[in-house]
Amino acid sequence: MTAADHRVVLHEGEIERALTRLAHEIVERNPDAPVPALVGIHRRGAFLAGRIHVLLEDLLQTDVALGDLDIGFYRDDVGTRPEAPVVHASHIDFDVSGLTVVIVDDVLYTGPIRPDYVGKNLPTSTAEHVHVRVNELDGVDEVAIAVPATAEAGA
């Protein structure tokens, strides 16, 4: 992706502040025991959940359960992707009974999901795509909105 076909809407510091705000919101909305657990959606949501996990443990001064989940075959865009989904292992090594479980994903686009916590709301057109890049996978922390070349040509 070149600078001409995308615009960065969140840089590293802004992502860090959004994650810190999310951690504080989780603590504020869940004041009573037990401490909420986190489950990150592969791939980038799992890395973001890991970062929120560190922040929550620091805020609460206690252990916070952390897991990850692969939903590759259940994505809303699975039929429009040129490549087959890559399956990752899921790890939820704790009993979720009686716990509030906060599911962390990088982008919510369609589906009957209403998030309780939002890092950043980005109004986009159907031709635009939100790309979250994390340092662990991409070597940079940023969120960009991209317009596919075919949409640009028709504009």
Each residue's pLDDT tens digit, 106-117: 998 776 888 999
Beta strands 142-146; 6-10: pairing state: antiparallel
Question: Which numeric CATH code is attached to 3-154?
Answer: 3.40.50.2020
> Alpha-carbon distance 118 to 103, whole Å?
11
3-state secondary structure at position 108: coil
Per-domain residue ranges of the chain: 3-154
User: CA-to-CA distance for 95 and 83, rounded, in angstroms?
Assistant: 34
> Are 76 and 69 contacting, i.e. CB atoms less than 8 angstroms apart?
no
Question: ∠ CA(131), CA(133), CA(138), 5° rounding?
Answer: 130
The pTM is what? 0.84
Q: What is the pLDDT of residue 27?
A: 97
At 33, list the tokens: 């025991």
Instruction: Using CB atoms within 10 Å of the CB of residue 92, give its burial: 0 to 12 exposed, 13 to 18 middle, 19+ buried.
Output: middle
**Maximum Cα–Cα distance for the chain, whole Å?**
54
pLDDT tens profile 73-85: 555 555 555 676 6
What's residue 34's pLDDT?
94
